[in-house]
Chain A
Amino acid sequence: QKEVEQNSGPLSVPEGAIASLNCTYSDRGSQSFFWYRQYSGKSPELIMSIYSNGDKEDGRFTAQLNKASQYVSLLIRDSQPSDSATYLCAGLIQGAQKLVFGQGTRLTINP
């Protein structure tokens, strides 16, 4: 079992709708989670970090963490074509500055 798993995708969402991206993790010791956005040919860009159970909102983005279920999600409200990218979920290994990434979910927002 991979340490961090994401929906394989691809995911297609109409413009203006809510895009929902999901991620599960196996290491119960992981405390910190991150969502990165990666445009084709570019490097990952950090868009959200979450450390405690519940929701964290930043603009159109909401990250959700449920440690009991070992589940992390990212909601993108009012999706825009510029949100089309691959979204990477990452967990920080307890005690190490090491991120473990999921395989990524390719999101396409259709105008």
Chain B
Amino acid sequence: KAGVTQTPRYLIKTRGQQVTLSCSPISGHRSVSWYQQTPGQGLQFLFEYFSETQRNKGNFPGRFSGRQFSNSRSEMNVSTLELGDSALYLCASTSVGAYEQYFGPGTRLTVT
């Protein structure tokens, strides 16, 4: 079974721009969670989607948003990028009724 895939793998953007990241979960998984990883803050939860609905949200500003499609693929968007948004963005998928989260390879975002 294929793992979680994320595109693009690397991205360089300029302050003030916006970015959209994509995540395809493991086949059959319907929950997708997004995390931000930085050297200073570690891994922090952004939000979680299940059946196209956001069920949980972390403590990030409204510039961070996401959505999920009927095929469980998910996107996250960051608007008005700031230098501090430079990070590894990870998505993880979970099977229905399970608790284990499996991570994709991540998207490395650099904001200049």
CB within 8 Å of B: which residues of A?
Answer: 32, 34, 36, 42-46, 49, 51, 88, 90, 92, 96-104
Tell me which residues across on chain A come within 8 A of B88, comparing CB atoms.
Answer: 43
Given A34-B101, A46-B100, A97-B99, 10 further pairs, Cβ under 8 A: A43-B104, A44-B103, A46-B101, A46-B102, A51-B99, A97-B31, A97-B94, A98-B45, A99-B101, A103-B42
Write the residues of chain B forming the contact surface with A, with a CB cutoff of 8 angstroms: 31, 33, 35, 42-45, 48, 50, 55-56, 58, 88, 90, 92, 94, 99-106
Whether A43 contacts B56 by the Cβ 8 Å rule is no
Given A97-B33, A97-B48, CB of A92 within 8 Å of CB of B43:
no
How far in angstroms is the closest Cβ of chain A from B14? 24
Question: Chain A interface secondary structure, helix, strand, loop or mixed?
Answer: strand
Q: How many A-B residue pairs have CB under 8 A?
A: 55
**CB-based contact B56/A96 at 8 Å:** yes
Interfacial chain B residues near A34, Cβ < 8 Å: 100-101
